[in-house]
Chain A
Amino acid sequence: MAQVETAVNAPHRLGFLATLRRDTWWVEPAAIAIGLTIFLGYLSVSAFLDGWSYEIGPYLSPAFEPKLHGVYDAWWFSPALFILWIPVGFRATCYYYRRAYYRSYLLQPPACAVGDLGRKYDGEGHFPLILQNLHRFFMYGALIFVPLLWIGAIRGFHDPDQGWGIGLGSVVLCVNAFLLMMYTFSCHSFRHFIGGGLNCFSCSAWTRARKGLWDRVSAWNVNHRLWAWSSLAWIVFTDVYIRLVANGHITDPNTWSGF
């Protein structure tokens, strides 16, 4: 191995925020930090607001999907916690979100060619960040949520008392299920699982079929960031919409009430 250099030469220097960049490099990490804080902050609070109705008629907030529970008296316990740990773990260990929060929250580094925070750096090679390798297990769990969310979305067309119909909430729930499905199916771990681990795509009918799927997932994976943000924003919107309808703040246009 080459001799290790312990310092850098002028005009550079080591240290937090050390850079020769003169552009507005701080805008992207700041915007991501604000966006993540708003969306994740809202969902964290929302999970504990089970006393503020999160379902009405055919609509159930996706934060509580699938419904396994009722209302709990203890403020510190949310029924959403039964299920949220899987999607939360999936996003927390997601390769895109890791990029986002390493840059925006941990400032390692805040932007390219801008000095990172911390005198020593071990990355994901040691505890606790070595646990990022659990991503694939959360991905397996997230795959179960895809049909569950679609079942919830289809149930949004069936009022328990009035039968089949359609409302704005039904469409909102379908878009939510679609975006979360695309976020899951564009996952890097899923891409590896489906075919990325192969070295020979042409060796058998099985590997050729996996190559076809891998191509499709790779095309989705290019836009993983888009799916990550759109699905996160939409689940917040869906939760807010259903709560506003369920608590009488707005009216959902639908066929059951004749629009």
Chain B
Amino acid sequence: MAEVTMRIFRGNANGGEFVDYTVEAPEGQVVLDVIHTVQATLANDLAVRWNCKAGKCGSCSAEVNGKPRLMCMTRMNLFPPGEPIAVAPIKTFPLIRDLVTDVSFNFAVAKEIPAFKPRPPEADGTYRMMQVDVDRGQEFRKCIECFLCQDVCHVIRDHPENKERFFGPRFFVRLAELEMHPLDMEDRTELIRKAAGIGMCNITKCCTEVCPEDIHITDNAIIPLKERVADRYYDPFRWIFGKLTGK
């Protein structure tokens, strides 16, 4: 059993500071375990959001030594022994207290995305989809809405004013899932170009780097959406072909 020093941010929207807590951390623990030890022994009033402790609920997002991570999936042996481990709240959303932020921006954005609109059912009243057609969407369904991708995206992380005109990577994943769905009839291309602001993404792939579900956000969601927008708005050959063939 080793002693570790956790340098945890304590404060609220009015300000705060990092406070060092030294506790025992048995081998095999993750950052969230140690945060719980601190909360149980040294700082009963420490605010931290968590739920499943298994990397599936997306609640315990934080910045550990400056990197956006799920605390429950970050093993303590990642860090060099003897050095304090800094744990801070995520940057992109307003701080409520200590490690807890207000992520309601994301729920407001979610409401702006037109829901799944299936085509009419087949003659027997059912829908049929082949597995090959839903494989792509299943990757996107892995999203646990931890919002680490939203946190790390510099478009809103470094420019909060852009939240008015940029949905963020999590919602490009959602839009890609809907747009690529074989049964969906809704056309969201104009929304993707304009309201969602896909042109603001400069594909630096930080969202992909931090995704705990290993969703290839940039390659499989954002870039395909950019290409679909280019099909519609920036490709005269496709436009002419569509006019000639009626497609």
- A11–B202 touching, CB < 8 Å: no
When the two chains form their complex, are residues B204 and A99 in contact, meaning their CB atoms are under 8 A apart? yes
Asked if B154 and A202 make an inter-chain contact with CB atoms under 8 angstroms apart, the answer reads no
Residue of B nearest to A122 (CB): B200
Asked if A21 and B234 sit within 8 Å, CB to CB, the answer is no
Q: Are B155 and A221 in contact (CB under 8 A)?
A: no
Q: Which of A14, A109, A125, A196 contacts B227 (CB 8 A)?
A: A196
CA distance A199 to B89 in the complex (A): 39
Name the interface residues of A87-120: CB closer than 8 Å to any CB of B.
Answer: 95, 98-99, 102-103, 108-109, 112-113, 115-116, 120
Q: Is B67 an interface residue (CB 8 A)?
A: yes
A123 engages B199 (CB within 8 Å): yes
B227 touches A192 (CB 8 A): yes
Could you tell me the distance between the alpha carbons of A46 and B151 in the complex, rounded to whole angstroms?
Answer: 43
Task: Known contacts A22-B66, A113-B63, A199-B182; decide if A108 and B104 are in contact (CB<8 Å).
Answer: no
The answer to whether A10 touches B230, judged by C-beta atoms less than 8 angstroms apart, is: no
* Interface contact A99-B112, CB-CB below 8 Å: no
Chain B residues with Cβ below 8 Å from A134 are: 234
Chain A CB count within 10 A is highest, among B17, B93, B184, B206, for B206
Shortest A90–chain B CB gap in Å is: 15
B180 at interface by CB-CB < 8 Å: yes
How many A residues have CB within 8 A of the partner chain?
54
Q: Binary interface profile of A, 1-30, with partner B (CB < 8 Å = 1, else 0)?
A: 110111111111010001111110000000
Which chain A residues lie closer than 8 Å to B200 at the CB level? 121-125
Partner of B163 from A4, A19, A120, A196 at Cβ < 8 Å:
A4
Complex CA–CA separation, A102 to B88 (angstroms): 27
CA distance A122 to B224 in the complex (A): 20
Q: Which of B66, B93, B157, B223 contacts A95 (CB 8 A)?
A: B223
- Interface bits A161-199 vs B (CB < 8 Å: 1, else 0): 000000000000000000000000000110010001101
Q: Known: A20-B86, A103-B204. Contact between A1 and B155, CB under 8 A?
A: no
Q: Does A133 contact B (CB under 8 A)?
A: yes
B36 interface contact, C-beta 8 A: no
In the assembled complex, B191 has its CB within 8 A of some CB on chain A: no
User: With contacts A103-B204, A124-B201, A136-B235 known, is A202 near B133, CB below 8 A?
Assistant: yes
Given contacts A1-B108, A121-B200, A123-B202, is CB(A116)–CB(B154) below 8 Å? yes
Is A211 positioned at the interface, with any CB of B under 8 Å from its CB? yes
Enumerate chain A residues within 8 angstroms of B162, measured Cβ to Cβ. 121
In angstroms, Cα B233 to Cα A6, docked, is 32
Segment touching A, from B8-16, B25-33, B51-59: B8-16
**Residue A205 is within 8 A (CB to CB) of chain B in the complex:** no
Q: Which residue of A lies closest to B166 (CB)?
A: A123
CB contact under 8 A between A5 and B160, given known A102-B204, A192-B224, A197-B231:
yes
Write 7 A-B pairs (CB below 8 A) sorted by A numbering. Answer: A1-B164, A8-B91, A9-B89, A113-B91, A123-B199, A133-B229, A221-B219
Query: Which positions in A face B, CB cutoff 8 Å?
Result: 1-2, 4-12, 14, 18-23, 95, 98-99, 102-103, 108-109, 112-113, 115-116, 120-126, 129-130, 133-136, 188-189, 192, 196-197, 199-202, 211, 221-222
Given A6-B160, A113-B68, 20 more A-B residue pairs with CB atoms under 8 Å apart are A1-B164, A5-B160, A8-B91, A11-B17, A21-B65, A22-B65, A23-B67, A99-B203, A108-B202, A112-B209, A113-B63, A113-B157, A115-B154, A123-B197, A125-B200, A188-B227, A197-B228, A211-B132, A221-B219, A222-B219
